[in-house]
Amino acid sequence: MEHVFYLLLRRLRAPIILVIIVYAISILGFVLIPGQDDQGNPYRMDFGNAFYFVSFMGPTIGFGEIPYPFTPMQRAWTTFTLYLCVISWLYSIGTIFALLQESNFRRVIRRTGFAGRIRWIREPFYLVCGYGVTGNRLVHSLDARGIQTVVVDIEQRLIDQLDADKIGLSVPCLCEDAADPDVLALAGIRSDLCIGVLALTNDDHTNLTIAIDSKLVKPNRLVISRTQSKETTDNLASFGTDYIIDPFETFADHLILILKDPYKHLIHELIVNPHHNVSTNPHQDTTGRWVICGYGRFGKALESRFKANNIDATFIEVDPKMRNAPEGTILGVGTEADTLLEAGIENAVGIIAGTADDADNLSIIITARNIKPELVTVARQNLGANKPVFNAADVNLIMQSGRIIADAIYMHIRTPLLMDFFNHLRQCDEQQARQILLDITATLQQFELNVWTIGVTKAESPALYDAIRTGHPVKLGSLIKDPRDRQESVAALPLVVKRGREFTMQPPPSMRLQINDQILFCGQAPAKMFMLWTINNHNVLRYIKTGIERPDGFVWRWLYDKQRKRRKLEQTP
Amino acid sequence: MNFEKVSFAFFIVLALTLNFGFFYGEADKIEHHNVYELYSAIVVSLIATVMKLGDRTHMGAVLVATSLVADLQLIIAAITWGYATHIAETGMTPHLMSSIVSLSAGAVLANTTSVILLIVETTVVRH
């Protein structure tokens, strides 16, 4: 606000000085010009009357000639100064309005208002740069969990959309270029409350700038960035960006998971999209050759995965030479039946429409399905607005890069251990993955899945921490017991235990916990509540371990100890 | 030479000299104090204040403060004068005049502070 105020004052200096001078001259004139009182005696206005008269004459209010009717000379002076005063007022007011209309001044007001809102935030927040499909989805998911966000985007259209969106918390937003360090500073990148910076703009260079800025100010703060090229990925990694996400690579991984490891994919889907109904898996038989349209960044990401997994693929590309397409690539877009037939669509198992044009992708899918209805279809959706069209096309799998990035980042923010779990899951064999999936479904029954992490630390689980520290070992299985009845278990399943840099998948209940262990659980939502009870309350933990419900409080403890001593005395003789 | 500096120095020194001219003389002698001098001192002091409005430097802020003090003292003196000539039944008395003069003496102090600050700034800044 200070900034706006000073700007206003500086710009209004000249008009105010003009008003003062005009008033000074007018008043002086009235004092000096001789007048006449009602008796016809010579009379001179004093400063008090002159100031009073000019005050109502200047803004053309005009109460009349006081204290006595004016002489012709005084009237002439009034006429002259009246115009002077009106002009000086018009000039001043005109300056104020011109200033308010000025885009630069409005920008200053917007920025100042934004900075003010950031200063008022009293809780940790994430800075989201870029409010496209990804930013939008992410801000909504974070908001749903009551996590504060701050948004910067260069497009006014998207900022307007944020204002129109129904978001529970008030999200400060600014329409400016996030590559500008001043803008980042306004958005609170130097604030201690900013716990994470998410660079989600569609410009790699801007994302780089944001990530570098954040890492320079606070090297330990979480920075997540999306990227569109290998070079940017390497660059981001070089200065310690915590999590770099390339939508094409991520989706290619995802697709391979579906084709090669359906169990792992199901586990993934269960955890990432709990509302998603995954029981009907449309991708039954996926062994065979694939036709892939488009050999851009997406096509290249697919090619390397397909090669590594020994899956055959035929590419269709408009400009194979420019993009260094592999041998045997068919020339064309893929929207025409001829091209698809040339690529051998009749004996392929599936088609991936991966061009950068949504209309082309839909056309490819429809043409291919006309030739061979039982094809497995995968389509890349580039624009968020085209969602209804893609849904109507009944494609087996739609790749929405915005959604993929948002889900991955959200998972990373909510439960970082989950990422480690998925990374280790990839290395499991199919038998183990199947067992994990069975365990999860048995734990869940038909309820919604919830994922949470428990750390054996003083802050997070005081009872558990104290018990282990004082030499009372606690087994992993104890955490799953129901604190209301230790014979029963709560509906939770430990997925992975992280000890230092080691990860234990499918940890056994007999595993002894150590300080600083991190355990990832999945299960029904109420189970987490019971577990929090166990790890926070000494008495509950003791009951679960020993089955004894011991009274607490100084008096009760004293009575209990006394009683126990007496029993011992009775037993000894 | 900076026109802004020249004009500000001009107005702030003029405010001091005019004010001093009004203040000079025996406090309770009505004929020693000229109403035109008080009037011009107020106008010049107001202009000097506005000239420093919006200055974001530390010195600018202090100068705005001191000249606002001078304005305040002088305007109260003028209101007292108006009270004496229009509202009070006794008209201007030596007692009221001495109050007006002592108010303007306060303004002289504030103006002096402004001028001293100006001199300090001028000697410190060498370009």
The Cα A241–Cα A233 span in angstroms is 9
Which residue in A1, A9, A31, A105 has the most chain B C-beta atoms within 10 A of its own C-beta, making it the best mutation to test that interface? A9
| pLDDT for A431 beyond 80 | yes
Cβ distance B46 to A10 less than 8 Å, yes or no, reads no
Give the residue from A284, A305, A297, A201 showing the smallest Cα distance to A248.
A297
Within 8 A of A7 by CB-CB distance, chain B residues are: 54
B18 touches chain A (CB under 8 A): no
Average pLDDT, chain A: 85
Q: How many CB atoms lie within 10 A of CB B6?
A: 10
Residue-wise pLDDT for A528-550, tens only, equals 888 888 888 877 788 888 777 66
Q: What is the pLDDT of residue A278?
A: 43
Q: What is the pLDDT of residue A90?
A: 94
Q: What is the pLDDT of residue A280?
A: 41
| pLDDT for A94 beyond 90 | yes
Asked, as a colleague might, if the bond just before A15 is cis with ω within 30 of 0, I would say no
| Angle, CA A527 vertex, CA A522 and CA A529 arms, to 5° | 120
The Cα A89–Cα A226 span in angstroms is 55
Mean pLDDT of B12-26: 93
| pLDDT for A279 beyond 50 | no
Q: What is the pLDDT of residue A1?
A: 46
The pair of structure tokens assigned to A565 is 């001593």
Query: Nearest C-alpha of chain B: how many angstroms from A115?
Result: 19
> DSSP string of B47-60?
HHHHHHTT--SHHH
Residue-wise pLDDT for A432-471, tens only, equals 888 888 888 888 887 777 888 888 888 888 888 888 888 8
Mean pLDDT of A104-122: 87
| pLDDT for A184 beyond 70 | yes
Q: What is the pLDDT of residue A285?
A: 63
Pair A445, A276: CB distance under 8 Å: no
Half-sphere exposure of A191 (CA within 13 A, CB side): 25
A21 touches chain B (CB under 8 A): yes
Which residue in chain B has the smallest CA separation from A8?
B54
Query: Nearest C-alpha of chain B: how many angstroms from A193?
Result: 29
Which residue in B33, B52, B53, B55 has the most chain A C-beta atoms within 10 A of its own C-beta, making it the best mutation to test that interface? B53
Interface ipTM: 0.77
Mean pLDDT of A375-384: 84
Which residue in chain B has the smallest CA separation from A48?
B82
Within 8 A of A44 by CB-CB distance, chain B residues are: none
The dihedral built from the CA positions of residue A314, A320, A321 and A322, taken in this order, carries a sign that is: negative
Pair A50, A56: CB distance under 8 Å: no
The dihedral built from the CA positions of residue A469, A470, A473 and A474, taken in this order, carries a sign that is: negative
Which residue in chain A has the smallest CA separation from B42?
A24
The Cα A129–Cα A407 span in angstroms is 16
Query: Nearest C-alpha of chain B: how many angstroms from A528?
Result: 56
Mean pLDDT of A284-304: 82
| pLDDT for A139 beyond 80 | yes
Q: How many CB atoms lie within 10 A of CB A423?
A: 11
Q: What is the pLDDT of residue A277?
A: 45
| pLDDT for A553 beyond 60 | yes
Q: How many CB atoms lie within 10 A of CB A342?
A: 14
Alpha helices in A355-445 (DSSP H): 358-371, 387-392, 401-414, 416-427, 430-444
| pLDDT for A88 beyond 90 | yes
Strand, coil or helix: B6: helix
Region for A371 from its dihedrals, namely left if φ exceeds 0, alpha if ψ lies in -120 to 50, beta otherwise? alpha
Task: Describe the crossing of helices A462-469 and A525-536 by its angle, rounded to 10 degrees.
Answer: 50
Residue with tokens 């007692």: B95
The Cα A229–Cα A290 span in angstroms is 25
| pLDDT for B99 beyond 50 | yes
Cβ distance A48 to B56 less than 8 Å, yes or no, reads no
The pair of structure tokens assigned to B122 is 């001028």
Cβ distance B53 to A12 less than 8 Å, yes or no, reads yes
Task: Describe the crossing of helices A2-32 and A47-57 by its angle, rounded to 10 degrees.
Answer: 120
Q: What is the pLDDT of residue A51?
A: 92
Q: Indicate the pTM of the whole model.
A: 0.67
